[in-house]
């Protein structure tokens, strides 16, 4: 194979790869902002796999996790509802490059962290980089306080769901609809 023929084949392969990327980018808009450069779980760990596929399609952690908010008197908490065989990272996360669960409040377009008492998490039995991972499972309650009052106040829970098999989905911001009692 001469140099010109090889250059043409490489150029064709790169053009084909670029076209496939553009097609995927336009076909799955929900995946565009799902992962930021600092979010990639696999950048420092060969033990975890970042996956965009769930149930046959591109998806994120919102397919495995929902959240609810309840405020009874002075006791307010966010409860995580996580599908079987899935978990999310505790806060703080067990390793620097894992994405911890966080709760924020959005009001009038501004997003601010919430005063939350994150529980320690449960030992998952999963070892990554010689460290046991602490995670939250279904039913985990996270007490919150000092929430603003008024209209257009929304709680946002950021999670990264990982399966018991070590497959991690892109992180997602999920709503925790507010109900006051």
What was the pLDDT predicted at 57? Answer: 53
What was the pLDDT predicted at 153? Answer: 84
Q: Which two tokens stand for residue 88?
A: 């999310």
- Count of structural domains, the chain: 2
Q: Are residues 9 and 40 in the same domain?
A: no
- The alpha carbon of residue 34 and the mean position of all alpha carbons in its chain are separated, in whole angstroms, by 8
pLDDT, tens digit only, all 181 positions of the chain: 676 776 666 655 555 454 455 544 444 443 333 333 333 333 334 444 455 444 455 589 999 999 999 987 778 999 999 999 999 999 999 999 999 999 999 988 888 899 999 999 999 988 888 899 999 999 999 999 988 877 788 899 999 999 988 889 999 999 998 865 4
Q: Are residues 22 and 46 in the same domain?
A: no
The β-bridge partners of 123 are 134
Q: Could you tell me which of 145, 153, 15, 136 has the C-alpha nearest to residue 81?
A: 136
Q: Are residues 41 and 54 in the same domain?
A: yes
What was the pLDDT predicted at 180? Answer: 56
Q: Are residues 82 and 163 in the same domain?
A: yes
Q: 91 lies in a domain? A: yes
Per DSSP, which regions of 51-109 are E strands? Answer: 53-54, 57-58, 65-72, 75-82, 86-89, 102-107
What was the pLDDT predicted at 39? Answer: 39
**Helix or strand run (H / E) with residue 8:** helix 3-27
Domain of 20 in residue numbering reads as 1-32
Q: 15 lies in a domain? A: yes
pTM across the whole model: 0.68
Q: Are residues 18 and 42 in the same domain?
A: no
Q: Are residues 86 and 162 in the same domain?
A: yes
Q: Could you tell me which of 88, 110, 109, 97 has the C-alpha nearest to residue 158?
A: 88
**Helix or strand run (H / E) with residue 145:** strand 141-145
What was the pLDDT predicted at 118? Answer: 98
């Amino acid at each position: 194979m001469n140099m010109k023929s090889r250059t043409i084949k490489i150029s064709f392969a790169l053009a084909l790869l670029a076209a496939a990327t553009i097609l995927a980018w336009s076909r799955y808009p929900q995946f565009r902002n799902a992962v930021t450069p600092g979010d990639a779980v696999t950048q420092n760990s060969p033990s975890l796999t970042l996956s965009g596929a769930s149930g046959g399609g591109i998806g994120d952690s919102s397919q495995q996790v929902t959240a609810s908010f309840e405020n009874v008197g002075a006791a307010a908490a966010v409860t995580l509802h996580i599908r079987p065989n899935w978990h999310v990272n505790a806060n703080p996360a067990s390793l620097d490059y894992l994405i911890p669960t966080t709760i924020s409040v959005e009001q009038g377009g501004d997003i601010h962290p919430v005063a939350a008492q994150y529980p320690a998490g449960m030992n998952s039995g999963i070892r990554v980089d010689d460290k046991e991972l602490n995670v939250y499972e279904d039913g985990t309650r996270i007490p919150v306080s000092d929430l603003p009052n008024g209209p257009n106040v929304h709680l946002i829970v950021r999670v990264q769901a990982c399966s018991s098999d070590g497959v991690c989905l892109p992180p997602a911001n999920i709503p925790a609809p507010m109900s006051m009692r």
